[in-house]
Amino acid sequence: MDNISLILISIGLAMDAFAVSLTEGLAIKKLRKRSILKIALIFGGFQAIMPYIGWRVGGVFADKISQYDYIITTILLLLIGGKMIYDGWKDEECEVKGKCSSNSNLLILGFATSIDALAIGFSFSLVSNLDIYYSIQVIGAVTFLIASIGVYLGHRVGHLISYKTEYLGGGILVLMGLKSLVGHFI
């Protein structure tokens, strides 16, 4: 997998975390570096761990399904991207009202926003020339950076852009899925 594709996937995966980080930034009365760091570490950490778990689990089945790898990758990316776009329409209390900042809620959100990364990790197990350790570092770092920016922007101007960033993230993943499908036939 080339670096541009990996970065685009990382950005797409990070959009859920960005949306939640924006709302967390909205809810913070006095912005501190510690708050930004905590939120970014939780989201970046989950986004890095989950693809690795998916890769390990997927590796067990890779030999049996490798002939269908492009179909599975395309379907997973389209489903995940489509779900993110759909979730952009939902008005969940923590995303709209920013009531997620307790540590337990942040851990749950970190896990919930990284489920798509688990599926990506499964599709990574089907890619023969993929360095999983490099990939999860990139995904974690990109998510950390994007979540940090999200908290800051949420605190400053979050009311203007809100949770609609999921549309962008979902759109990126849908395009990557279509690229996978088209790339197989070209």
Q: What is the mean pLDDT of residues 118-132?
A: 87
Q: How far apart (Å, rounded) are the C-alpha atoms in residues 185 and 181?
A: 7
What percentage of the chain reaches a pLDDT higher than 90? 29
Query: Which pLDDT band holds residue 156 (cuts at 50, 70, 90)?
Result: confident
pLDDT digits (tens, 9 = 90+) for 64-114: 766 676 787 678 778 777 776 776 666 444 445 544 555 667 788 788 778
In one-letter notation, the amino acid at residue 72 is I
For residue 114, give the DSSP letter.
T
In one-letter notation, the amino acid at residue 96 is V
Query: Which pLDDT band holds residue 46 (cuts at 50, 70, 90)?
Result: very high
CA quadruple 74, 77, 80, 86: dihedral sign: negative
pLDDT of residue 33: 93
Q: Terminus-to-terminus CA distance in the chain, angstroms?
A: 16
Residue 184 has pLDDT above 80, yes or no: no
